[in-house]
Chains A and B, each alone.
Chain A
Amino acid sequence: MTIETASPPAPALEMRGITKRYPGVVANDHIDLEVRPGEIHALLGENGAGKTTLMNILYGLARPDEGEILLDGRPVTITGPSDAIARGISMVHQHFMLVPVLSVAENILLGEETMANPVFLDRREARRRILELGRRFHFEIEPDARVSTLSVGWQQRVEILKALYRQARILVLDEPTAVLTPQETEEIFAVLRRLAAEGHSIVFISHKLYEVLEIADRITVIRRGRVVGSRIPSETNEDDLAELMVGREVQLTVDRGASHPAEVALRIEGLRVADDRGSEVVRGIDLDVRAGEILGIAGVAGNGQDELVEALIGLRRPAAGRITLAGHDVTGHSPRQLNEAGVAFVPADRHRFGLVLPFDVSDNLVLTSYYRSPFARGILRNDAAIETAAKETVAAFDIRTPSVHAQMSTLSGGNQQKVVVGREFGRDLRLLVLDQPTRGLDVGSIEFIHRRTIAKRDAGTAVLLVSAELDEILELSDRIAVMYRGEIVAVVDGPTADKNAIGLLMATGGRAAAGVEQVPA
């Protein structure tokens, strides 16, 4: 379903009737997509809608069962990534495909090496070309810098340079703004607009509605493997797009109501924490979280948030400082002690921390309580009690699973996260620590988890929300603390917070920020 215009230029890329079936699902069901030269074309859809499958087909990572791909009007068969690159298609993956220990130049050259002779690389020529490309698109970068020393925003630029170095005409970006601050997002948008102006075609994959409206020339929405609509930004709005994407009316912002903060539940004083390599990454944090409020910690990933969270839940011993929970010193307590004191935790990486994927759903639901009555009788498990409790939680949290004995890894991401939430939320809590609780989830699951979080707050739990996604922080937080290089550089009121001011604080630590009213912690 494409939009007809008066005199369409020949499409740079056309995908016709693309169908891809996997056992049990049709990932792509006769998808049509048309991208013109110089156009920024947004592909909008929830996780699992089939965006990634479609792009994998374009990039040669998967073969379509039906349908054809045309480049400049000529049908082609793309056999693999190198074939796609040779045809001028480049992809910037959501998780950057950069080798951290290599230099910028080495990363750009990799696979498309500029050679001085059949054996050795021509590093001088590569350097010259990289600098020249950087100048042309207004982001000059030092080719000899190690990628691991660059910020996320600059790493993304390296990815784009990689594509340009290969003389890509069609550039696919998979959720490119997921990890960027608003300022970095603006900068990347500027780069993309410049690329489009030079005639490059850009496919922009996203599920962020306002971004798509801002950057795209055209928007194609897919749901459950089908194209459900095409729009031009000037003729649509967020609500319309959300409804198309989800298939029902969605409430984009949860009505959170006013908070009623009570006594201080969590008090952090002078907290200092070192990372695995021994360098201090949390540098003297003082913070209070009251019962019945949500405190959001905003910050670019890697500013000490992980270590702060790990110290709070007992995974990492603080180097100095004090953590008190409802008046009791719990500094250095074990995760189990904290759990029993009423601390719950939803991790950012549920596969590494929250769940045991080879176990079934019921076992995952008792990971924090299996050793207690009624789930244990002496040294034996009480399977009947575990199953009954699991069935209750599955019903209460609307976890879609064939049975409580289904293996965890067979559930979708959203339902996996609901298992974590069901386990952690399903009891009386003092403190709830949420570390990017909705990362990688679809709009429906995000809505669900946000609602439950608000409900927990209203029941009198102190909630600490850590997220690199500023939108999530803004949506939920009653107060927002900005973390920069291991310190809290500002605490502002949540409902009245200004997104750009916070973005600036996240990026610079507030040395240059003005207009942010400081609210006492």
Chain B
Amino acid sequence: MDGLINGLYGIPVAGLLFQLLGYLVAVLPIVAPIMLRVACPLTLAALCGVVCERSGVVNIGIEGTMLVAAFVGWVVGVALLPVLPATPSPFFGVTPVLLIAFVAALGSAMLVSLLHAWLSISVRADQIISGTIVNIAAFGVTGYLNELISKSSPTSAGAFSAFVPPAALVNLPLVGWLFNMFLNQGPITMSVLVIVVVLQILLFRSRWGLRTRAVGEHPQAAETVGIDVIRVRYRNVVLAGLLAGLGGAALSMELTNSFQEGMTAGRGFIGLAAMIIGRWTPLGAFGAALLFASSVAVSQSITFAPPAGELGRLLGAIPGQFWDALPYVVTIIVVAGLIGRSIPPAADGRPYEREATS
């Protein structure tokens, strides 16, 4: 009896799944560039986490760091707008204003990271609390200053524009959409893939990577072979700030062209989730970020180009919040160890104290 009922239900369900698959394949070329764009700040946040935590410093202040970078990039831009020429060059729409603002955004993120480094490495404060301080302070300060400034300033200082790949490349059969995905992007998004690959190689093949991993796993061992644990950690956290800064800049200077209060909207935390799912490797983190981004991209696609018929009505009935929540659900499943365990560096989050000379 049960089997019969299942069989009866099975036919339309299988049919719907086929339709869904067909729909996804059909919209892939359109969705793919969106996916990479959404994944860009997530990936940079995750890489910031990888570089920090591989050296043994937990950084949950990525969210705040990105927010500061996004704000500073925008505010420096609008402040310079009256004094510097703002004619976009054909090269990614770069203007002198944007360039200076971009550098300021990165610098501010590195400064925020330096604060976190000082609190968690030198002061040996609880790293979770230090990261939380960064988040709360960033949210409050940028929100307040935004309130003050935005009334009397232009709303936008412009943004980096996307490269337009030659039509011949994009129209290639089968692989054309891939070129579109990676080349029809702004400079920051485009650079993400390069950064991921470079970091992956450096982490496992270079002296910096070896020392970073050793310091994150067994700092005493590193110290006994003459490595300055404190210095390695400072350097990594500040370098990680640069990555978070890139992610923040992408938000206010590339993906949009202005700043909104709290515009990071949890991306720093999703980035941390991507880092965990990616097992603290750059490539893995990138893959996880793409996975998360796909849920956003699919939900957008369903809103703007819903599939026809029964499937369209069904998907339309799924509330948007479901797609928003999906990355977190996946993260919980992974962290709970249901899809193979993800093991953090052994000394992650533990302040290092030089051998007490007693």
Chain A residues within CB distance 8 Å of chain B: 22, 56, 61-63, 80-83, 85, 91, 93, 97-102, 106-107, 109-113, 115, 119-121, 123, 162
The answer to whether A99 and B357 have CB atoms under 8 Å apart is no
The answer to the question of B213 belonging to the interface, with a C-beta cut-off of 8 Å to chain A, is yes
The answer to the question of B310 belonging to the interface, with a C-beta cut-off of 8 Å to chain A, is no
**Least Cβ distance of B151 to chain A in Å?**
49
B residues in contact with A82, CB < 8 Å: 225-227
The answer to whether B225 and A162 have CB atoms under 8 Å apart is yes
Chain B residues within CB distance 8 Å of chain A: 202, 205-208, 210-211, 213-214, 217-218, 220-227, 346, 355, 357-358
A residues in contact with B222, CB < 8 Å: 99, 110-111
**Least Cβ distance of A284 to chain B in Å?**
27
Name the residue of chain B whose CB is nearest to the CB of A162.
Answer: B225
B residues in contact with A81, CB < 8 Å: 223-226
The answer to whether B211 and A110 have CB atoms under 8 Å apart is yes
**Least Cβ distance of B45 to chain A in Å?**
25
Given contacts A102-B210, A115-B207, 7 further A-B contacts (CB under 8 A): A61-B355, A81-B225, A102-B213, A106-B210, A111-B227, A112-B226, A121-B210
The answer to whether A61 and B357 have CB atoms under 8 Å apart is yes
Partner of B210, one of A80, A83, A85, A109: A109
A residues in contact with B357, CB < 8 Å: 56, 61-63
The answer to whether B213 and A91 have CB atoms under 8 Å apart is no
The answer to whether A99 and B221 have CB atoms under 8 Å apart is yes
B residues in contact with A22, CB < 8 Å: 358
B residues in contact with A98, CB < 8 Å: 218, 221
B residues in contact with A110, CB < 8 Å: 210-211, 214, 221-222, 225, 227
Name the residue of chain A whose CB is nearest to the CB of B202.
Answer: A119
The answer to whether A80 and B202 have CB atoms under 8 Å apart is no
Name the residue of chain B whose CB is nearest to the CB of A95.
Answer: B220
Highest count of chain B CB atoms <10 Å: which of A98, A106, A110, A120:
A110
The answer to whether A101 and B217 have CB atoms under 8 Å apart is yes
B residues in contact with A99, CB < 8 Å: 213-214, 217-218, 221-222
Name the residue of chain B whose CB is nearest to the CB of A111.
Answer: B225
Complex: how many Å from CA A101 to CA B216?
11
A residues in contact with B226, CB < 8 Å: 80-83, 85, 111-112
Complex: how many Å from CA A123 to CA B214?
17
B residues in contact with A162, CB < 8 Å: 225
The answer to whether B225 and A121 have CB atoms under 8 Å apart is no
Partner of A119, one of B207, B213, B224, B358: B207
B residues in contact with A121, CB < 8 Å: 205-207, 210
**Least Cβ distance of A181 to chain B in Å?**
24
B residues in contact with A97, CB < 8 Å: 218, 220-221, 224-225
Partner of B217, one of A83, A91, A100, A111: A100
A residues in contact with B218, CB < 8 Å: 97-100
Name the residue of chain A whose CB is nearest to the CB of B217.
Answer: A99
The answer to whether B207 and A85 have CB atoms under 8 Å apart is no
Complex: how many Å from CA A109 to CA B220?
16
Are A112 and B221 also in contact (CB < 8 A) when A101-B346, A119-B206, A121-B206 are?
Answer: no
**Least Cβ distance of A292 to chain B in Å?**
44
**Least Cβ distance of A57 to chain B in Å?**
9
Complex: how many Å from CA A380 to CA B222?
49
B residues in contact with A62, CB < 8 Å: 357
B residues in contact with A101, CB < 8 Å: 213, 217, 346
Complex: how many Å from CA A107 to CA B355?
20
A residues in contact with B225, CB < 8 Å: 81-82, 85, 97, 110-112, 162
Name the residue of chain B whose CB is nearest to the CB of A98.
Answer: B221
**Least Cβ distance of A388 to chain B in Å?**
34
Highest count of chain A CB atoms <10 Å: which of B206, B220, B227:
B206
Name the residue of chain B whose CB is nearest to the CB of A112.
Answer: B225
Q: 3 closest pairs, A vs B, by CB? A: A82-B226, A111-B225, A97-B221
Name the residue of chain B whose CB is nearest to the CB of A123.
Answer: B205
Provide 15 A-B residue pairs closer than 8 Å at the C-beta atoms, listed in order of the A residue.
Answer: A62-B357, A80-B226, A81-B225, A99-B214, A99-B218, A99-B221, A99-B222, A100-B217, A100-B218, A101-B346, A110-B210, A110-B214, A111-B211, A111-B225, A119-B206
The answer to whether B214 and A102 have CB atoms under 8 Å apart is yes
A residues in contact with B202, CB < 8 Å: 119
Complex: how many Å from CA A85 to CA B222?
13
**Least Cβ distance of B132 to chain A in Å?**
26
Complex: how many Å from CA A196 to CA B342?
45
**Least Cβ distance of A278 to chain B in Å?**
11
Highest count of chain A CB atoms <10 Å: which of B205, B220, B225:
B225
Name the residue of chain A whose CB is nearest to the CB of B343.
Answer: A101
The answer to whether B207 and A93 have CB atoms under 8 Å apart is no
Are A91 and B205 also in contact (CB < 8 A) when A97-B218, A98-B218 are?
Answer: no
**Least Cβ distance of B249 to chain A in Å?**
26
B residues in contact with A85, CB < 8 Å: 225-226
**Least Cβ distance of A352 to chain B in Å?**
15
B residues in contact with A102, CB < 8 Å: 210, 213-214, 217
**Least Cβ distance of A360 to chain B in Å?**
21
Name the residue of chain A whose CB is nearest to the CB of B226.
Answer: A82
Highest count of chain A CB atoms <10 Å: which of B205, B207, B224, B227:
B224
**Least Cβ distance of B152 to chain A in Å?**
48
**Least Cβ distance of A238 to chain B in Å?**
31
**Least Cβ distance of A224 to chain B in Å?**
16
